[in-house]
C-alpha cells in the first residue's frame, strides 16, 4: 500500500511539474512589452515617429518638460494628460498595421498643431 | 447614423452674385437657387480670421484678408439680418498682452468695417483655450455660450474651446438641456460652434470629446442645423437628420482630413490669390426649415 501510495504521489508530482513547465513555457512565449520614452514640450514631441512590430505590447512613458500637454492616439483609444514632474504611462497592443497619428489634445499655444507624431506599426 | 455628404450626393452648384449656391434635395434644404430670392432672412458666417498670424508662404496678405472679406460682405446685394464669427478670430500667442492687443485690433476692424450690422461672436481655441475664455469675454462677448431667437428660429452658441481639452463640459451641457426645454418640438434650431461636434478626424484634433452628448440632446428636434469652423474648409456631414456645415477660413486653408501625411496649412497660390478662403451666406426659408448655403470668395475671380 505504501509503495503504491508513493507511486501515486510521484505521478501526481510529475503531472503538476509538467503543468507548471507548460505554463512557464506559455508565459515565456508572450512578446515582451516594448517601452518607449517620450518627452513633450512647446511645441514638439521628442519623437516624431515611433515604429513597432504588429502584435507588440507597447508602453509609452511620457514626460512634459514645461506645461500640461496631452497624449492622444485615437486609433488605439489611448489618451492621457501629461503634467510636468510626473511620468505618465500608456499601454496598448499594436494589433493593427499601418500609420497612426498621435497628438497633443490639450491646447498649449501658438504651435499646438505641431505637437504630433506618427506611430508606425509594421507587419 | 452618420454620413459624409458629397456634392455628388445632394448638391448642385449654380453661380450667383460672385458666390456659389449649394442647394440640397434632402430635407432641410431648398431645391433650387431661385428659391433664395424668396427667403425670409439670411445671415453671414465668417470664421477663422486668425488675426495676428504671420507666414508669407501661407498668406502674404495677413492684414488685408479680413478687411477684404468685410468689403465683400458690405458689397452683398442685401444686408444680412446678422453676422456670426465662429471662432479663432485671433491667432494666439503666449504673450498675454500681445494676445489682447490682437483682440482689440481685430474687434476694432470688425466693428468699424461692419458698422450697423448685428454681430455675434464665438470663441475658437486660439481666442479662449489659454485663459478659459477670460480675454474673449472681456473683448468680444460676455458669455462664451448663449442662445437667442430670431424670427422664430432658436440659435444656440456652444463653446467647445474654453476648456483646453475641447470639452463642452457638464455645466454647459446642463445649461443646454435647460435651454432646449424652452424650445418647441417643431421649432427650427441653428447651432453655432467652433469645432465639429462629431468625430470628423480625432487624430487631426477635429472633434469634440463630449460633442455627442450635445448631439444626443438635439436629436429629438426634427429641424437642427449646425454651422462651425476650425477646419478651414467646407465640409458637410450628417449625424442622423442633423446637418453639420464647416466654413472656410479667412487666413489659410487646411487640407481634407487624411489627404496628406501631416496636417499643415495649404501654401499660398500666387496664380489664384485667396484660393480656399471665403465666407458664406445662409438663407433661411423658415417654411419647412429650409436652409440654403451660399459660398462667397474673399475677392471675385
- Confidence at residue B203, expressed as pLDDT on a 0 to 100 scale: 97
In a mutagenesis test of the B interface, which of A96, A105, A106 is the best target, namely the one with the most B β-carbons within 10 Å?
A: A105
Instruction: Flag whether pLDDT at A8 surpasses 70.
Output: no
Residue A87 confidence (pLDDT) above 80: yes
A72, A110, A116: residue with CB nearest B94 = A110
Please give the Cα distance from A120 to A97 (Å, whole number).
Answer: 7
Q: What is the pLDDT of residue B19?
A: 40
| Test mutation, B51, B198, B202, chain A, max A CBs within 10 A | B202
Instruction: Give the separation between CA A40 and CA A63, rounded to whole angstroms.
Output: 6
Residues linked to residue B83 through DSSP beta bridges, in sequence order: B44, B119
The DSSP 8-state label assigned to residue A14 in this structure reads H
| Residues 6 or more apart whose Cβ sits within 8 Å of residue B119 | B82, B83, B84, B85, B110, B111
- Residues of B with a Cβ under 8 Å from any A Cβ are 91-94, 125, 129-130, 161, 164-166, 202-205, 261-263
Instruction: Identify the burial level of B21 via C-beta atoms within 10 angstroms of its C-beta, where 0-12 means exposed, 13-18 middle and 19 or more buried.
Output: buried
Distance CA A97, CA A121 (A): 5
Q: How far apart are CA B147 and CA B156, in angstroms?
A: 4
- Calculate the CA B156 to chain-centre distance: 13
**Inter-chain CB proximity B164 and A106 less than 8 Å:** yes
pLDDT tens sequence across A17-50: 444 444 444 455 677 899 999 999 999 999 999 9
- Write out pLDDT tens, residues B45-86: 999 999 999 999 999 999 999 999 999 999 999 999 999 999
Which residues of chain B fall below pLDDT 50? 1-39
Preceding peptide of B110 cis, ω within 30° = no
Cell, residue B143: 458669455
Pairs across A and B, CB distance < 8 A = 43
End-to-end CA distance of chain B: 39
d(CA B37, CA B220): 31
Helix (H) or strand (E) holding A22: helix A2-29
- B138: cell is 472681456
pTM: 0.86
Give Dmax (Cα) for chain A.
85
Q: What is the CA radius of gyration of chain B?
A: 18
Q: What is the pLDDT of residue B127?
A: 98
Give the full edge-to-edge strand order of the sheet including A88-93.
A44-45, A34-41, A57-64, A88-93
Tell me: pLDDT of A10 over 90. no
Helix (H, G, I), strand (E, B) or coil at B89: coil
pLDDT of residue A29: 64
Q: Give the whole-angstrom CA distance, residue B167 versus residue A79.
A: 14
- For residue B47 the three cell numbers come to 470664421
Looking at the DSSP bridge assignments, the partners of residue B278 are: B297
Structure-derived torsion over alpha carbons of residues B170, B175, B180, B183, reported in degrees to the nearest 10: -170
Amino acid at each position: 500500500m505504501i509503495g503504491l501510495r508513493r507511486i501515486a504521489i510521484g505521478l501526481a508530482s510529475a503531472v503538476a511539474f509538467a503543468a507548471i513547465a507548460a505554463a512557464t513555457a506559455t508565459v515565456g512565449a508572450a512578446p515582451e512589452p516594448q517601452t518607449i520614452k517620450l518627452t513633450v514640450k512647446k511645441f514638439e514631441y521628442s519623437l516624431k515617429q515611433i515604429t513597432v512590430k504588429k502584435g507588440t505590447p507597447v508602453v509609452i512613458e511620457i514626460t512634459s518638460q514645461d506645461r500640461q500637454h496631452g497624449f492622444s492616439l485615437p486609433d488605439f483609444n489611448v489618451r492621457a494628460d501629461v503634467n510636468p514632474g510626473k511620468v505618465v504611462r500608456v499601454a496598448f497592443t499594436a494589433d493593427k498595421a499601418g500609420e497612426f497619428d498621435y497628438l497633443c489634445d490639450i491646447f498649449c499655444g501658438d504651435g499646438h498643431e505641431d505637437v504630433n507624431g506618427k506611430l508606425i506599426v509594421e507587419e | 447614423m452618420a454620413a459624409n455628404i458629397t456634392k455628388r450626393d445632394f448638391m448642385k452648384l449654380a453661380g450667383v452674385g460672385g458666390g456659389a449656391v449649394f442647394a440640397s434635395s434632402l430635407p432641410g434644404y431648398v431645391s433650387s437657387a431661385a428659391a433664395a430670392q424668396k427667403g425670409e432672412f439670411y445671415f453671414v458666417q465668417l470664421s477663422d480670421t486668425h488675426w495676428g498670424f504671420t507666414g508669407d508662404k501661407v498668406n502674404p496678405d495677413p492684414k488685408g484678408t479680413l478687411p477684404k472679406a468685410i468689403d465683400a460682405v458690405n458689397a452683398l446685394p442685401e444686408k444680412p439680418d446678422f453676422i456670426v464669427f465662429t471662432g479663432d478670430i485671433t491667432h494666439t500667442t503666449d504673450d498675454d498682452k500681445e494676445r489682447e492687443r490682437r483682440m482689440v485690433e481685430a474687434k476694432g476692424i470688425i466693428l468699424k468695417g461692419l458698422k450697423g450690422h448685428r454681430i455675434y461672436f464665438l470663441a475658437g481655441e486660439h481666442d479662449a483655450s489659454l485663459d478659459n475664455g477670460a480675454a474673449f469675454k472681456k473683448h468680444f462677448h460676455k458669455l462664451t455660450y448663449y442662445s437667442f431667437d430670431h424670427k422664430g428660429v432658436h440659435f444656440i452658441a456652444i463653446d467647445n474651446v474654453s476648456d483646453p481639452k475641447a470639452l463642452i463640459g457638464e455645466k454647459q451641457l446642463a445649461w443646454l438641456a435647460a435651454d432646449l426645454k424652452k424650445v418647441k418640438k417643431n421649432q427650427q434650431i441653428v447651432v453655432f460652434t467652433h469645432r465639429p461636434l462629431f468625430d470628423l478626424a480625432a487624430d487631426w484634433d477635429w472633434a469634440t470629446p463630449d460633442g455627442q452628448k450635445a448631439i444626443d440632446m438635439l436629436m429629438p428636434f426634427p429641424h437642427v442645423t449646425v454651422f462651425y469652423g476650425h477646419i478651414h474648409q467646407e465640409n458637410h456631414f450628417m449625424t442622423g437628420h442633423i446637418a453639420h456645415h464647416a466654413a472656410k477660413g479667412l487666413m489659410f486653408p487646411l487640407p481634407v482630413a487624411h489627404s496628406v501625411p501631416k496636417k499643415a496649412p495649404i501654401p499660398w497660390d500666387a496664380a489664384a490669390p485667396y484660393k480656399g478662403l471665403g465666407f458664406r451666406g445662409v438663407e433661411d426659408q423658415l417654411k419647412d426649415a429650409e436652409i440654403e448655403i451660399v459660398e462667397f470668395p474673399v475677392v471675385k475671380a
